[in-house]
Amino acid sequence: MQRVGIGDTPRLAERSAAPHWRTTLIGRLGSLRGLLVPALLLALLETVVRVGWIPPYLMPAPSELFVTLLELAEGPLWQHILASTLRVLLGFAIGASLALLLGSAVGISRRLEAYLDPTFQALRAVPGLAWVPLLLIWLGIDETSKVTLIAIGSFFPMYMNLVAGIRNVDRKLVELGELYRLPRLQQIRRIFVPAAQPYLFTGLRNGLSMAWLCVVAAELLAATEGIGYLLTDGRETSRPDLVLVAIVVLALMGKLSDSLLKALEHRALRWRDNFDGEGGGA
């Protein structure tokens, strides 16, 4: 084992102080690594279609999909994206708010858990599509049924994670709150929810992903605009390029919204000193 003397301190300081530009460059290159797999898949698919191994009427080449995307961007594409995004945001806000309220209550109270949690666990097993016919009968084909389906889908992931997060709060923090005689609502706001933030953000991200799944399910059955409507239109007109473009747009919107939540999570949880994975700077 090599010894480090007092005279080596400046040398170690110089060695440990890596140039800022190098660190920034490595970080930016690392963020681009996620594009490698999609780029390779697109190139492979383009080659396979051009060679003729896959018929173009079944799987259009990525270059053809890009042309379709440009045509839609000059027309109704932004209107469909806006319609789906507004539905997702509204339904997600309702579902997440209810999950925050009920998840906090169930996580704190064992008695309330005994009354409510079995019902929630049973309803959680019901697929989102199973709610669609009932919501259409109850609420009609307008926005209310779509937003309700999204709220139901986004509720359960956040509820589950929040309950688990509260149950993993350090008991010493709870005892400290009781020592200072904090009311229960103050304990929830100042102890339980902040301590359960890692679980809370995981639930938010999972709930948002489920919200995008549910909005497509709702728009597939009853909608005149939205990304799900594009999928239905492509199916009815036998246009796989339109279906694939709608899938790509849906994937991009889901990734964008998840990245925004992930950035907010990193900002809110900067205080954590946790393991961040091996080989991050390689």
Interval 209-252: pLDDT, tens: 999 999 988 887 777 888 988 888 888 888 888 999 999 999 99
- Give per-residue pLDDT as tens, 182-209: 887 888 788 888 888 899 999 999 999 9
* Residues 6+ away with beta carbon under 8 Å from 211: 88, 91, 92, 95, 150, 153, 154
pLDDT exceeds cutoff 70 at 36: yes
pLDDT exceeds cutoff 80 at 13: no
Please count the CA atoms within 13 angstroms of the CA of 129 that sit on its side-chain side.
4
CATH of 61-268, one of 1.10.3720.10, 3.30.420.40, 3.40.1280.10, 3.40.50.300: 1.10.3720.10
Predicted pLDDT of residue 22: 54
Average pLDDT of the chain? 83
How many Å apart are CA 150 and CA 227, to the nearest integer?
A: 14
**Looking at per-residue confidence, does 80 or 271 come out higher?**
80
pTM of the model: 0.81
Predicted pLDDT of residue 113: 92
Placement of tokens 């697109």 in the chain: 42
| pLDDT confidence band for 30 (50 / 70 / 90) | low
Percent residues over pLDDT 90 in the chain? 35
Q: Does residue 200 contact residue 165 with C-beta atoms inside 8 Å?
A: yes
How many Å apart are CA 231 and CA 236, to the nearest integer?
A: 9
How many Å apart are CA 98 and CA 120, to the nearest integer?
A: 12
Residue 189: C-alpha distances to residues 95, 100, 256, 261 (Å):
19, 11, 29, 21
Structure-block tokens of residue 232: 């239905």
Distance of alpha carbon 118 from its chain centroid, rounded? 26
Predicted pLDDT of residue 275: 64
Predicted pLDDT of residue 35: 81
- Give per-residue pLDDT as tens, 81-132: 999 999 999 999 999 999 999 998 898 889 999 999 999 999 999 988 888 8
Q: Which residue ranges make up each domain of the chain?
A: 61-268
Structure-block tokens of residue 158: 């956040």
